[in-house]
Amino acid sequence: MANENSNDICDLTIIGAGPSGLFGSFYAGLRELCTKIFDVLPEVGGQLAVLYPEKFIYDVPGHPKILAKDLVKLLQEQAMQWKPTLCLGNRVTDLRRRADGILELDAGGMTHLSKTVLITAGVGAFTANKLTLENIGRFEGRGVYYFVQDKMVFRGKRLLIVGGGDSAVDWALNLKDYAKSITLIHRRDQFRAAPASITELSNSPVNVRTFHELKRISGESQIERAVICDNRTKEETALDVDAVLLNLGFKADLGPIKKWGLELQGTRYIKVNARMETNLPGVYAAGDIAAQPAVEPVNLIATGFAQATLAVNVAVTHINPQAKVFPGHSSERRLCSIKDLPGF
């Protein structure tokens, strides 16, 4: 919840409390910016907290591997040392720029004021893709899962995983020591996952069946059986299962962001330049939601960290043109903060 009057003018408002937003808030603290963070979720962490808190992440600098929930905890601790205002469970519905350059953000029935805005909203709002199978809805939460909030749910279970992307492969590997058995089915013979993970999967005890699709599930109060089908021969196979994990991707939607006058690239990206500036003065974007023309997006957590850092430093120069984009290294005794500049 917010603990600051909405009429106070923040230096920087961050929309999105995922990894990029949290690290951006930390860096804003280094430059002594008054910062406010909004997120529609009731907790920080974004996709890491909602989609795969129990999943290991291998490409964060300094961590050979780290659980997503542990990374979120560390990022939150790092960001909160500067005491930014957290506005969780609040969707920003509108963004306007006043004649004096101050930005107005509508959220939670109030208007919040800020000198600059950094949008780190990831892929926007997301909902899991679902199968249109008979009775599947009544088993959701009773054997059918789209996300893994707690790995212990699958302890000793006969698990069927459906999908062929990173999430399906990673969860098969992550849960192989928890589940009694795992069968992974995919409708093709090509997986959209990291090559190293595919190699590990092929050497694991996971029963991988390509060219197979889920046709039916059944049971009394819980899932007891699943029928899979070879999409080449149409031959069906019945499996005794206790749980089905559907990793079929998700639908993303920028939601109200699409109506803020921002120049978009395609349907899911906000267009930015090399300084992470959008077409609206004082508004920046970083992380999975940002894209530069003619540059293929590299949607990694590490990329989001770098982009958020650059955006914050550029935002400082928007607030005071006498400021420098590069303030010095954090290992030095003190960074150049905006309060060191004339007029502050």
Q: Is residue 38 part of a domain?
A: yes
Backbone angles phi, psi at 172, to 5 degrees: -60, -45
HEC letters along 140-163: ECCCEECCCCCHHHHCCCEEEEEC
**205 and 67, same domain (yes or no):** no
Q: Is residue 3 part of a domain?
A: no
Q: Is residue 146 part of a domain?
A: yes
Q: Is residue 258 part of a domain?
A: yes
Half-sphere exposure of 45 (CA within 13 A, CB side): 18
Scan for tokens 């390509």, then name that residue. Answer: 210
CB 282 within 8 A of CB 115: yes
CB 303 within 8 A of CB 137: no
Q: Is residue 1 part of a domain?
A: no
**160 and 200, same domain (yes or no):** yes
Which of 248, 267, 301 is where one domain is finished? 248
Which of 188, 222, 248 is where one domain is finished? 248
Look up the pTM and report it: 0.79
What's the pLDDT at 2?
45
Percent of the chain with pLDDT over 90: 74
Domain encompassing residue 314: 9-126+251-340
Q: How many C-beta atoms lie closer than 10 Å to residue 180's C-beta?
A: 11
- Count: domains in the chain: 2
Q: What is the mean pLDDT of each run of 10 residues along the chain (344 residues)?
A: 64 97 97 96 90 87 94 97 95 96 95 98 81 87 88 94 92 93 96 91 96 95 95 97 92 89 93 97 97 92 97 97 89 63 57
239 has which bridge partners? 226
Which of 225, 248, 271 is where one domain is finished? 248
**113 and 261, same domain (yes or no):** yes
Question: Rounded CA gap, 282 and 202, in Å?
Answer: 49
Q: State in Å, rounded, how far the first CA of the chain is from the last one.
A: 28
Per residue in 276-314, is it b (16+ CB within 10 Å) or e — as a string?
bbbebebbbbbbbbbbeeeeebeeebebbbebbbbbbbb
Residue 324 burial (10 A CB sphere; 0-12, 13-18, 19+): exposed
Q: Can you tell me whether residue 73 is helix, strand or coil?
A: helix
